[in-house]
A and B are shown apart, each in its own frame.
Chain A
């Protein structure tokens, strides 16, 4: 992931730095869920229950260009909870980017290279996102 822009509506921000940290942190968290994190079970037993086998996002995985906006309403007095509210959009945003780039629609996380390859093989050689878009519009 090269570029990500996150935004969250906070009503009236109490702690701007913490709000930014939470929103940026959600990108790190969601990026891990979108690309790496998967609990693997065998006969009900968790197979990768440690940080060596269950990969989470590290500082190297962060987008080089990451900006966040904590949106305030100038007249709002109510305080909205933020934090995890900006986490759910991260995964579909990345999944949409994968679809835009490869034409493969993946509906189960994480978005692994294997799933993209399987999707490409299923679609056959002639597939392209542009054609899919045209079909969708038509």
Chain B
């Protein structure tokens, strides 16, 4: 199978401009990706991963490549509110989906997401290469289960690797993020309708737009 592909690529017309892609389909595809609430028109080949397109075409480089085989979680992105490894999703597969990267969870005025605040407060990182993945995984965990205990968090975050071994403080940060997210939710949720009109609450509501697909 691989040999036939290789033979096919050798027979390709020599006018091809891209040197990096000995792929059976060398054609560029026009895609419209919904990234962090904005429609982004990008061009990709059929074998380009969502990670590559986010970094190269969209320019959101906080989503990082670690292992490239879906083991380390550094490329974690939210697709329709669920965590996926950006290196395992082909860019065309993500068309029409709601993609959220770590750049997209900050508020409209640049205020940090409670999970980010918690990671900073507890210094849940050393080199911070894994941090965007951990932040998004923690956000997804809290969206799914607002009251995780330490064991729940450990099981959920086992797919994110940190080679610095900052796991202890990461776990502290996750537990703190749980408290922060819940106190925010009690302010912004339906329970205290009277407070919804304040500016801060409106911001937080729009910042959490990615949760909408989970509601169903």
Contact = CB atoms under 8 A, between A and B. Distances in A.
Interface of A: 17-18, 20-22, 24-29, 50-52, 56-60, 62, 66
Nearest to A30: B165
B126 A27 contact: no
Give the interface centre of A25, A29, A59 by most chain B CB atoms within 10 Å.
Answer: A59
Interface stretch (B97-105, B150-158, B178-186, B192-200): B150-158
A51 B164 contact: no
A81 B170 CA distance: 24
Interface of B: 66-67, 69, 71-72, 123, 126, 154-155, 157-171
A56 B161 contact: yes
15 contacts: A17-B123, A18-B126, A20-B169, A24-B167, A28-B166, A28-B167, A29-B163, A29-B165, A52-B71, A58-B159, A59-B154, A59-B160, A59-B167, A60-B155, A66-B168
Given A50-B69, A52-B69, A60 B154 contact: yes
Contacts of B165: 24-29, 57
Given A24-B168, A28-B167, A50 B67 contact: yes
A56 B169 CA distance: 18
Contacts of A21: 123, 126, 164, 166, 169
B171 A59 contact: yes
A127 to B, nearest CB: 34
Contacts of B126: 18, 21-22, 25
Contact of B161 (A26, A51, A66): A51
Nearest to B67: A51
A contacts with B: majority SS: helix
A59 B162 contact: yes
B71 A24 contact: no
Contacts of A25: 126, 164-166
B158 A60 contact: yes
B160 A51 contact: no
Given A28-B165, A58-B161, A59-B162, 16 more contacts: A21-B123, A21-B164, A21-B166, A22-B126, A24-B165, A24-B168, A29-B163, A29-B165, A50-B69, A50-B71, A51-B72, A52-B67, A52-B71, A58-B160, A59-B158, A60-B154
Nearest to A63: B168
A125 to B, nearest CB: 37
Contacts of B154: 59-60, 62
Nearest to A28: B165
Contact of A58 (B67, B123, B158, B164): B158
B166 A24 contact: yes
Nearest to B163: A56
A27 to B, nearest CB: 7
A131 B170 CA distance: 43
